[in-house]
Amino acid sequence: MFALIGIFFGIRSIKIRKEAYKKLEEAHSELLQSSVTSMKYAALEERTRLSREIHDGIGHQLTSLIVQLQALELMLPNDPKEASKLVSQLLQISRNAMAEVRIAVKEWSDDEMGLGLIALKGLISQTQARSSIQFSFCEDSEISEWSMETSTVLYRILQESLTNILRHSNANSAQIHMSEINDNIILLISDDGKYIGDTPLKPGFGISGIVNRCESLGGTCSITPNSPHGLKVQVIIPCNSTNYKE
């Protein structure tokens, strides 16, 4: 009798564990999908911003070029010397327009990587729009294409870091640096907030989440005082990480 009872509870326990594991997988899938949706929205906003910059920047340069070319056409028969001086100005306008084209092409090329870098830039733009803190983003090296798992982790880490800056830093500015060195992705987020390192940091839910997500891909995370004041978060993740677990 006791053996049968033991078997019954053993089977029931296995069934409960399987159901719990299934629910955990479903919850993880929903959370991952939510992150991907947020990344898509951020990427869409960044594409819209790029389109606006192309229209406003290059469009303005080309309009100016057309107007001055029309003036040059009128000047050529009557005042060739002045027309010659105008040519150098037109060349400079053309060079400026070409420079903006190159920047736009690079941005769109980064977009081909999917939801990696473009989503991070979009997230920064979104944060900037609702804050007086000045955020700047810099790529310190060539950036490769990331897996969806790596992109998701970096997006969530940056999201949490920016949220912490908004809520707790009392900063005027923050810098986000992205680079890849020796097959590692390095994300550095620093601010000029009120923290001066005089008291130990108390890891809350947000900081713990950053560390856990980083470690989920075999990476490391360091959180240190910034000089002369503020906080610095450095995340290092292997480029080819695929063992992500939320």
127 in Cβ contact with 160 (< 8 Å): no
CA distance 226 to 237: 21
Q: Is the pLDDT of residue 238 over 50?
A: yes
Tokens of 51: 């389109």
Residue among 114, 126, 174, 124 at smallest CA distance from 150: 114
CA distance 166 to 241: 29
Which pLDDT band holds residue 39 (cuts at 50, 70, 90)?
confident
CA distance 43 to 118: 5
Mean pLDDT of 191-209: 82
Strands 220-225 and 173-181: unpaired
The one-letter amino acid at 100: E
Q: Return the pLDDT at 21.
A: 46
Q: Is the pLDDT of residue 9 over 70?
A: no
Please count the helices (runs of H) and the strands (runs of E) in the chain.
6, 5
Tokens of 183: 């097959």
Place of tokens 């060739």: 80
Which pLDDT band holds residue 107 (cuts at 50, 70, 90)?
low
What does pTM read for this prediction? 0.61
Mean pLDDT of 40-63: 70
Residue among 95, 97, 90 at smallest CA distance from 57: 97
With 0-12 / 13-18 / 19 or more C-beta atoms within 10 angstroms meaning exposed / middle / buried, residue 174 is buried
- Comparison of pLDDT for 237 and 9, the residue scoring more: 237
Domain positions in the chain are 1-112, 117-238
**Regarding the domain delimited by 117-238, which CATH topology (the fold level of the hierarchy) does it fall under?**
Heat Shock Protein 90 (3.30.565)
